[in-house]
Amino acid sequence: MSSEEISDDAACAADNCIDADCNVRDTYSTGTGQPRPLGQTIRARFYPGFNATTQAWALNRINALQGTCGATGYRCEHCNQCVLKSNASLDHVVPVATHWNTTGRNTDQNTRFQWYNDTNNLEVVDRNHNSSMGSGGVNYRRDVTQNFSGGPNC
């Protein structure tokens, strides 16, 4: 058994988000009643979004990237093309799925929140690029370790 695995007699923090087998519980779409993709569930529950400081950094970064793109544009840090500011999106250089698999499923909510808002791991990209990159091909792990603690909705 690896150091990341949990033995049968180990306990995890079972709650509304984690089941007794130390796995992330599914969430369901209100429209269809079908389970949401695991990545959407993990991001919604355990990576709650950007704080005000990160949002202010993003606005300053967009303005710094304006260059020759005109008043309504900026230069995408992914493709280096001029795109509309209204299409700006923050992208994690190290994907959230990678963080979850290596650290996030083994730590507390505050640590995940700090990582999510670390501007050293963010770049401003076109929303279409960000959506198309997804998790970079990394699949989220469903299991958590003994050191895991959930978010405010757990």
CA distance 144 to 6: 8
Residues 103-133: pLDDT tens digits? 999 999 999 999 999 999 999 999 988 887 7
pTM: 0.83
Q: Which of 18-22, 83-87, 115-119, 146-150 is least confident?
A: 18-22
CA distance 12 to 20: 7
Q: How many CA atoms lie within 13 Å of 33's alpha carbon, on the beta-carbon side? A: 0
Q: Is 50 exceeded by the pLDDT of residue 3?
A: no
CA distance 66 to 75: 6
**Cα–Cα distance list, 97 to 6, 62, 118, 142 (Å):** 20, 25, 15, 11
